[in-house]
Structure 1
């Protein structure tokens, strides 16, 4: 049973600082490193590290960063057959500033913007044979729409709506698992989540749009989700946060891997929460994501 993740691949350029500089200010950082990233690639790595047969569909540049990202993905066990190196285009990059465990990000999509609906269509049979499809919103929206319309009702769809952009309700109707954080959730529900009751109200709105299993991550406060019978709230795990860069991607990828492995929604959420809580105690994105052996003995 394979998961096909369709999404972005970026090279993350990470700088740690004691605070975010003001406009026009130059200040010293205290550590720089390059790290393979991109929401799509991160989620693919999370799926693979959780033991899922994971295939990643993406575009990278025909450059050193692109080759490095493909090698990194393969090293984590992700199949790279559906990744194309686009000539004369740069690989996507993200400039990330990490300050006291939180981050700010500037993203240049580069080759990710070349992941077109036509490219998706070229893999129609492969997509329809998958056990699940995972999507995010760092690729062209027309490609997200094309994928959902192609497989909805035939293959379970996991959509992490990040970064949040408008999505037509007719498209949301085709989504099985929808995993925004509380800020992204507001873009689709107009609910400013200040309490668990607010979060449950948001879940109900998302279900009314035709989403089968909405989940809203609340950071350190935990998560709310619909398990097929009830709206459920689970508290967050208390950990010493170092870097939140891949927290949501770890959760989303782990959730998908656990669901297709046969876990119940409640079991899958527990494992995904644990994986995410481990990831935030480590610097970076894909290297920070834990393996299933660290979670399930």
Structure 2
């Protein structure tokens, strides 16, 4: 079984503050950390820590940051042989403020902007060897659409995490096997006219909506709407929780789990990730997830 991620690879510059500042406001910070991140890389690391054979596809710059991020991915078992090192373009950076059990993020794409259609054409062979591909939207949207279409034509399952959210073409939504927005992203994709339940029923077996402390909702193939409640956590840092959920969900689906049980596993993994600092550093192992599920 092979799972793959096409997406962003960033260095997160994370500041811990008393709270997230308002527009025009200055607040005191207590710590600053440089932590490997990027939604794509985070999701690949989440799956690797859970025991998956996972390959990362993306781009980094030919700078020290890029070298460090490649070494970090290799250190946790992520396959990196098809990541492209781009000359004269810096590696992507995310500026993250953490405060009051939440975060605010500004992303500077850098080399992630070079994950284009030409790059996908170069790696299509190994990409199409995947059993399932996980995508996000920190790379060019035309690339996201291109990969979804490519995988659909070759019967490779796709999990599309539409974050950061921008409107999606109807055909992209239809071709994706699973779509995993949070409530805010779902409103951008589909508007606010329908309730969450009504929206989920339009896409049974495809759409799941994460709802923070409430949990995650989905409509099963038989039309039943389910809410998988969140596990109570001692929150330290929410950065990467959504990426952990997406990675864990994708892995469980690849292993043949049904939608509800995959969400139950992923929800627990995501909650565990919030109990330690840093996106990737807080991600749990399969053993930790199973132990937490047994204790519920």
Pairwise CA distance, 1:129: 1.7
Deviations 1:124-148 (A, max 9, x none): 2222221001100000011111111
Deviations 1:118-170 (A, max 9, x none): 11011222222210011000000111111111111510000000000111001
Of 225, 228, 234, the residue aligned with 1:240 is 234
Structure 2 unmatched ranges of 5 or more: 292-296
Residue in 2 that maps onto 1:169: 170
Residue in 2 that maps onto 1:60: 60
Pairwise CA distance, 1:91: 0.4
Of 197, 201, 205, the residue aligned with 1:204 is 201
Q: Does the C-alpha gap of structure 1 residues 56 and 26 become closer, same or farther in structure 2, counting only changes over 3 Å?
A: same
- Aligned pairs (5 A) from 1:24-35: 25-35=25-35
Residue in 2 that maps onto 1:250: 244
What CA distance in whole angstroms lies between the structure 1 residues aligned with 2:24 and 2:261?
A: 48
- Aligned pairs (5 A) from 1:87-166: 87-153=87-153, 154-166=155-167
Deviations 1:9-37 (A, max 9, x none): 10000010112335555443111111100
Residue in 1 that maps onto 2:187: 186
Does the CA-based 8 Å contact 1:185-1:202 persist in structure 2?
no
What CA distance in whole angstroms lies between the structure 1 residues aligned with 2:22 and 2:141?
A: 33
Q: Does the C-alpha gap of structure 1 residues 26 and 216 become closer, same or farther in structure 2, counting only changes over 3 Å?
A: closer
SS in 2 for 1:4: strand
**Number of matched pairs:** 289
TM-score normalized by the length of structure 2: 0.94
What CA distance in whole angstroms lies between the structure 1 residues aligned with 2:25 and 2:172?
A: 43
- Structure 2 residue 293 is the aligned partner of structure 1 residue 296: no
Pairwise CA distance, 1:88: 0.4
Does the CA-based 8 Å contact 1:279-1:288 persist in structure 2?
yes
Pairwise CA distance, 1:59: 0.4
Structure 1 range deviating more: 84-93 or 27-36: 27-36
What CA distance in whole angstroms lies between the structure 2 residues aligned with 1:217 and 1:237?
A: 13
Does the CA-based 8 Å contact 2:203-2:219 persist in structure 1?
no
Residue in 2 that maps onto 1:219: 212
Pairwise CA distance, 1:228: 2.3
Does the CA-based 8 Å contact 1:191-1:202 persist in structure 2?
no
Pairwise CA distance, 1:192: 6.8
What CA distance in whole angstroms lies between the structure 2 residues aligned with 1:235 and 1:151?
A: 32
Q: Does the C-alpha gap of structure 1 residues 192 and 74 become closer, same or farther in structure 2, counting only changes over 3 Å?
A: farther
What CA distance in whole angstroms lies between the structure 2 residues aligned with 1:35 and 1:204?
A: 39
- TM-align CA RMSD: 1.5
Deviations 1:162-221 (A, max 9, x none): 00011100111101111000100111221378xxxx2211212345xxxx4211000001
What CA distance in whole angstroms lies between the structure 2 residues aligned with 1:82 and 1:180?
A: 28
SS in 2 for 1:157: strand
Deviations 1:225-263 (A, max 9, x none): 123222211222222222111111000000011111122
Structure 1 unmatched ranges of 5 or more: none
